[in-house]
Chain A
Amino acid sequence: MLKFTNVFKNYDKSVLADINMEVEEGEFISILGPSGSGKSTILRLASKLIKPSRGKISYQRNKPPSIGFVFQDATLMPWRNVLDNIILPLELKGVRRNISTKKAAEWIMKVGLEGKENSFPGELSGGQKMRVSLARSMVTDCDLLLLDEPFAALDEITRRKLEEDLLKIWKREKFTILLVTHSVSEAVYLSERVIVLSMGPGKIISDKKIFKENFDQDFRNSQQLFDLNKTVYNLLAREENS
């Protein structure tokens, strides 16, 4: 679906160096790395919001996929209610109001926000705001979902609930996910592949497939997850201390 070939990105200084990675359709990939390793920059490059300084980003069938983006903050428009926030991407693409309302209503159900359609962001909890943000990013039936530390500001219980819900949606909708996170356990639990970046300028120091026997609640407390966490954590800690 998406391929980075020798991608470099410089601002005042070098942020990413020689990134090579291929993202297959339907994959759930997490990107881990120390602060300043350029994790979020990879998402911005993938979304075409910014261009690489060197190298090439290519898409399957030479056509950029439809992209949904979720930021660390829910980034909702406080003057719009839940329904109108979710509708926004369809509205910008010129979809007729009755069609976009129907579509948004489906996603309100899928993310568990029934009854909150007319609430304003200021009336929602942090978890509910993030659900709106997720629904908004997926309402266009995106092929590629980019998540930039979406659960970082949430409490543990809300975070776990949202992780479970995201997994369910991903399994059902089968789109591709690139998740940037600081949390090793989140990355290992959620994804099929974990990419670890070095200290800035970020280079890929590990690209590890996660083979899971199951994805259910038992997996969260399994020895397998514990061992995987330990392996990835050691990689990251070694990089932080280097």
Chain B
Amino acid sequence: MKNISNYLAPIIALIALLAIWEIFVYSSNIPIYILPAPTDIFLSLQSNFKDLLGSALITLRITIYAFVIAFFVSLFLAIVFSLSNILESSLYPITVIFQVTPVVAIAPLILIWVGLDNAELAILILSVIVAFFPMLANTNLGFKSVDQNLLDLFLLNGASKWQILSKLRIPFALPYILTGMKTSIGLALIGTVVAEFVAGTGSSKGLAWTIIESGNRLDISKLFAGLMLLILLGITLFMLMTAIERNLLKRWHESTQENRG
């Protein structure tokens, strides 16, 4: 019973919010080019579905590529850092630079370097830059948090560096890695959209392009429809990561065992 109400409560809240929005727009006579009602947005989504879906798939494709590249880059760097303190102290501060530099500030530079004809590659690079740091920071923390007694046990039994990495550090850090992945998948999407915005219209036909184009044409219903798809995409990716996390940790990690007596 509690479970059903947990699912129903946010749905009812959302329906109520949309109803208030609809009533507010029509009762206040707000023009459609300022704030469309939810029904207008739904109708626009229906009539432009093919266009919007195509754009969403482009954004999704770049987001997934960026996320996968960021995952392997961060895992590789975290492994290197775990094997060498010198490399960690030299390279980690450099990776922080990527984290603290706003993507919009470096986007023009990346665009110039890869060429304006390769805007999609620039978007991919920018998205990787935005997405990789949380995964690196979390994986690195996970590798460092390994139980010292377990590490001693491995050393006592003559474990090689590779055995310590594959049988201890990586499984131990898995919850940390997955937390980083959950943060990064959202950031990869944000990075892709921001980079699409900065790259400008015509360079990539992702969702950001659709949103800008709709804004320029004052087709605010379509703009909102694009925004809705973007939100839906973000939520779906996050839920997918959460499902993967639950599946991988379900039998042994405390975070997935809150209902156990």
Contact = CB atoms under 8 A, between A and B. Distances in A.
Interface string B240-259: 00000000000111100100
Contact of B153 (A69, A93, A120): A69
Given A78-B253, A120-B251, A92 B171 contact: no
A67 B252 contact: no
B155 A75 contact: no
Interface residues of B, number: 23
B132 to A, nearest CB: 25
A77 B253 contact: no
Interface string A11-54: 00000000000000000000000000000000010010100000
A208 B242 CA distance: 59
Contacts, number: 52
Given A79-B171, A79-B174, A92 B149 contact: no
A67 B156 contact: yes
A121 interface: yes
25 contacts: A44-B152, A49-B152, A49-B155, A49-B156, A69-B152, A69-B153, A71-B149, A71-B153, A75-B149, A75-B153, A77-B150, A79-B172, A79-B174, A79-B253, A88-B157, A89-B153, A92-B158, A92-B159, A93-B158, A120-B251, A120-B252, A122-B251, A122-B252, A122-B254, A122-B257
B154 interface: yes
Contacts of A73: 149
B163 interface: yes
A69 B257 contact: no
B147 interface: yes
Given A92-B157, A93-B158, A79 B252 contact: yes
Q: Is chain B's interface secondary structure helix, strand, loop, or mixed overall?
A: helix
Given A88-B157, A120-B252, 18 more contacts: A47-B152, A49-B152, A49-B156, A69-B156, A71-B149, A75-B153, A77-B150, A77-B168, A77-B172, A79-B171, A88-B167, A89-B153, A92-B158, A121-B252, A122-B251, A122-B252, A122-B254, A122-B260
Contacts of B254: 122
B168 to A, nearest CB: 8
Contacts of B159: 92
A89 B254 CA distance: 25
Interface of B: 147, 149-150, 152-159, 163, 167-168, 171-172, 174, 251-254, 257, 260
Contacts of B252: 78-79, 120-122
A92 B171 CA distance: 16
Count class of interface residues, chain A: 20 to 34
Interface string A62-98: 0000010101010101110000000011011100000
A49 B257 CA distance: 35
A77 B158 CA distance: 17
B149 A89 contact: no
Contact of A92 (B154, B172, B174, B253): B154
Contacts of A79: 171-172, 174, 252-253
B150 A75 contact: yes
Given A120-B252, A122-B252, A93 B157 contact: yes
Contacts of B156: 47, 49, 67, 69
B258 to A, nearest CB: 12
A140 B157 CA distance: 10
Shortest 10 CB-CB distances between A and B: which pairs? Answer: A92-B157, A75-B149, A78-B252, A71-B149, A89-B157, A92-B159, A79-B171, A120-B252, A79-B252, A120-B251
A75 B147 contact: yes
B182 to A, nearest CB: 19
- Greatest chain B CB density within 10 A among A67, A88, A93, A120 is at A88
Nearest to A140: B157
A51 B252 CA distance: 36
Nearest to A91: B167
A73 B148 CA distance: 12
Interface string A172-209: 00000000000000000000000000000000000000
A69 B150 CA distance: 10
B253 to A, nearest CB: 7
A92 B159 CA distance: 6
A79 B163 CA distance: 16
A198 B116 CA distance: 75
Contacts of B153: 69, 71, 75, 88-89
